[in-house]
Structure 1
Amino acid sequence: MTELLEFKNVTKVFSSGLLTKTSTTAVRNVSFKLAQDDPTIMTVAGESGSGKTTLAMLLLGFIPATSGQILYKGTDIKNLRGAERMIFRREVQAVFQDPFAVFNPFYTVDHLLTVPIKRFKLANSKSEAHEKMIEALTAVGLHPQDILGRFPHQLSGGQRQRINVARALVLRPKVLVADEPVSMVDASLRANILELLQSLKEDHGVSIIYITHDLTTAYHVAKSIMVMYRGTVMEAGSVDRIIKKPEHPYTRLLIDSIPWPDLKRRWGETDIKAREAAIEDISEGCKFYGRCPFAMDKCKVFPPLFQLNEEQAASCYLFDENKQIASEKLSELLPV
Structure 2
Amino acid sequence: MLEGLMLTLDHVTKTYRAGAFGGGSVTAVDRVSFTAAPGEVVSLIGESGSGKSTIGRMILGLTGVSSGTLTLDGQRVRPGKDFYRRVQGVFQDPFSCYNPVFRADRVFDLVRRAYHPGVRDAEWADRVEKAVRDVRLDPAQVLGRYPHQLSGGQLQRLLIARALLLDLSFLVADEITSMLDASTRIDVLNLLAGLKERGLGVLYITHDLALGTYLAEKTVVLRRGRVVERGDTQKVFGNPLHPYTRTLLAAVPRLNQPWDPPEPVRSCAFHEGRDAPSGGPGAATTDLYETEPDHFVACAQLPDCERTPA
Distance 1:295 1:305, change over 3 A: closer
How many residue pairs get aligned? The number is: 291
Q: Return the match for 2:207 from 213, 233, 243.
A: 213
SS of aligned partner of 1:105: coil
For residues 48-67 of structure 1, the aligned pairs below 5 Å read 48-67=48-67
Deviation at 1:86, TM superposition (A): 2.4
In the alignment, is the contact (CA less than 8 A) between 1:226 and 1:233 conserved in 2? yes
SS of aligned partner of 2:214: helix
* Alignment correspondent of 1:255: 249
Q: Return the match for 1:155 from 143, 150, 157.
A: 150
Q: Name segments (4+ residues, structure 1) moved above 6 Å.
A: none
Distance 1:97 1:269, change over 3 A: closer
For residues 1-336 of structure 1, the aligned pairs below 5 Å read 4-19=6-21, 21-35=23-37, 38-78=38-78, 85-121=80-116, 124-202=119-197, 204-261=198-255, 263=256, 267-268=259-260, 273-274=263-264, 291-292=265-266, 299-301=272-274, 304-319=287-302
Deviation at 1:268, TM superposition (A): 3.8
Q: Deviations over 1:43-99 (max 9, x none)?
A: 000000000000000000011100011112222124x7xxxx422111101110001
Q: Deviations over 1:159-204 (max 9, x none)?
A: 11111111111113100000001000112211111111101111x3
In the alignment, is the contact (CA less than 8 A) between 1:30 and 1:233 conserved in 2? yes
Deviation at 1:146, TM superposition (A): 1.1
Deviation at 1:27, TM superposition (A): 0.7
In the alignment, is the contact (CA less than 8 A) between 2:270 and 2:298 conserved in 1? no
In the alignment, is the contact (CA less than 8 A) between 1:40 and 1:223 conserved in 2? yes
Distance 1:320 1:310, change over 3 A: farther
TM-score, normalised relative to structure 1: 0.81
Distance 1:100 1:20, change over 3 A: closer
Distance 1:236 1:16, change over 3 A: same
Distance 1:129 1:267, change over 3 A: same
In the alignment, is the contact (CA less than 8 A) between 1:122 and 1:129 conserved in 2? no
Unaligned ranges ≥5, structure 1: 275-290, 322-336
Deviation at 1:5, TM superposition (A): 2.1
- Counterpart residue type for residue 100 of structure 2: P
- For the residues of structure 2 that align with 1:154 and 1:297, how far apart are their CA atoms? 51
- For the residues of structure 1 that align with 2:68 and 2:9, how far apart are their CA atoms? 8
Superposed CA RMSD in Å reads 2.3
Deviation at 1:122, TM superposition (A): 6.6
In the alignment, is the contact (CA less than 8 A) between 2:268 and 2:299 conserved in 1? no
In the alignment, is the contact (CA less than 8 A) between 2:70 and 2:76 conserved in 1? yes
- For the residues of structure 2 that align with 1:122 and 1:139, how far apart are their CA atoms? 22
- For the residues of structure 1 that align with 2:144 and 2:110, how far apart are their CA atoms? 15
Deviation at 1:124, TM superposition (A): 1.6
SS of aligned partner of 2:95: coil
- For the residues of structure 1 that align with 2:35 and 2:164, how far apart are their CA atoms? 22
- For the residues of structure 2 that align with 1:123 and 1:267, how far apart are their CA atoms? 59
* Alignment correspondent of 1:325: none
TM-score, normalised relative to structure 2: 0.87
SS of aligned partner of 1:101: helix
- For the residues of structure 1 that align with 2:40 and 2:244, how far apart are their CA atoms? 25
Deviation at 1:17, TM superposition (A): 3.0
SS of aligned partner of 1:195: helix
- For the residues of structure 2 that align with 1:268 and 1:238, how far apart are their CA atoms? 28
- For the residues of structure 1 that align with 2:29 and 2:271, how far apart are their CA atoms? 22
Percent identity for Structure 1 against Structure 2 = 36
- Counterpart residue type for residue 206 of structure 2: T
Q: Deviations over 1:294-319 (max 9, x none)?
A: 65698323652111100211112424
In the alignment, is the contact (CA less than 8 A) between 2:268 and 2:302 conserved in 1? no
- For the residues of structure 1 that align with 2:143 and 2:204, how far apart are their CA atoms? 28
